[in-house]
Amino acid sequence: MIKAAVIGATGYTGAELVRILSRHPEVELVALTSRSCAGTPYYQVYPHLYKYIEKECQALDLKSLVAESDVIFTALPHGHSMEIAAEVVKQGKKMVDLGADFRLNSVQQYESWYKVEHQMPDLLPQAVYGLTELNRNKISSSTLVANPGCYPTTALLGLAPLINNKLIDVSSIIIDSKSGVSGAGRKLSLKTHYSEVNENFQAYGVAAHRHTPEIEQELCKLAGEEVTISFTPHLVPMTRGMLSTIYASLTKEMNQEQINSLYQEYYSGEYFIRVLPPGVLPQTKALAGSNFCDLAVTLDSRTGRVIILSAIDNLVKGASGQAVQNMNVMFGLDEKLGLDMVGIYP
């Protein structure tokens, strides 16, 4: 059994990790840490896991926790995973970081966008960007995986087939994304207060969202050239779910059938990527609780642009599910273990 610990277990992504790992046939949960809930039975924080999780939340004793674990998941705000990663590497264990501390290859980029000094720049070359379908081979031999952000997951999976085949103008990419409120985390704030969110629809982080350099960095790797995007996220009054509408101009004349075939071929064999049949479009409700990403691509022949729709559950494929998928790859397990579950509907 793989001994797993979750640091930051009482946030929404931490709770999803605990839910998924509690049913994983090859995992034993050895520790669930929480600053605010230390000493509290976990089911009192998340009652839906009563009789599934009998552990108490505990304070973090980093050295002993790493020593008793095979893999550590960190579900913490940016700036809090660096010292943990250093201890994990020192003890020769594995780690999946669900925060942003190891996603960006450039220290300067990280410090510019996140306004925090990077304490462990020497570890950045060891970190593998954990978008499983695109980096599986590197993930399989890694000890430190930087789990992608939710918005980048939709954007990169949606664009990869076209940009990797140099079929779109990389200066024309516009990404318009919508997310449920759980993406903002569990911490109380006016922004996510019920009265502020309910019956409301708003953009935020316009031309300044921290996922922008992450998307551009990974698109540059796929394209083999510099890529600059326009990215605007929106908050919608639903608990979970994410849908990105992506626009780009084609550099080669293609018809709808060719585009469909491109996506089907590119993601053939990828269990968690569902390229939907013609006439079926992604919707967030079809993905709730699942680790799937649903894709559909429409050719707008009038403008010469493609419109890509990419949808996920932001807490599963956009965070905790993908983290477990990465763990499965790191330990040579079937990627579907613990994750082979259909979404909840309605």
Catalytic amino acids?
150
Q: Which strands sit side by side in the sheet containing 174-179, from one edge to the other?
A: 202-203, 230-235, 174-179, 242-249, 305-312, 293-300, 273-275
φ and ψ of 193, to 5 deg = -60, 140
What gap in Å lies between CA 297 and CA 161, rounded to an integer? 11
Please tell me what DSSP assigns to residue 237. Answer: S
User: Which tokens is 65 given?
Assistant: 């926790």
- Any idea of the CA torsion for 47, 48, 53, 58, to the nearest 10 degrees? -40
Alpha helices, H only, 69-189: 82-91, 107-114, 132-140, 150-164
What gap in Å lies between CA 320 and CA 13, rounded to an integer? 6
Write b or e for each residue in 170-204: b if 16 or more Cβ atoms lie within 10 A of its Cβ, otherwise e: bebbebebbbbbbbeeeeeeeebeeeebeeeeeee
User: Angle at CA 212, nearest 5°, toward 208 and 217?
Assistant: 145
Q: How far is CA 231 from CA 17, 63, 202, 228, 234, in A?
A: 28, 40, 14, 10, 10
User: Which tokens is 269 given?
Assistant: 């064999």
Q: Could you write out the three-class secondary structure of 279-320?
A: CCCCCHHHHCCCCCEEEEEEEECCCCEEEEEEEECCCHHHHH
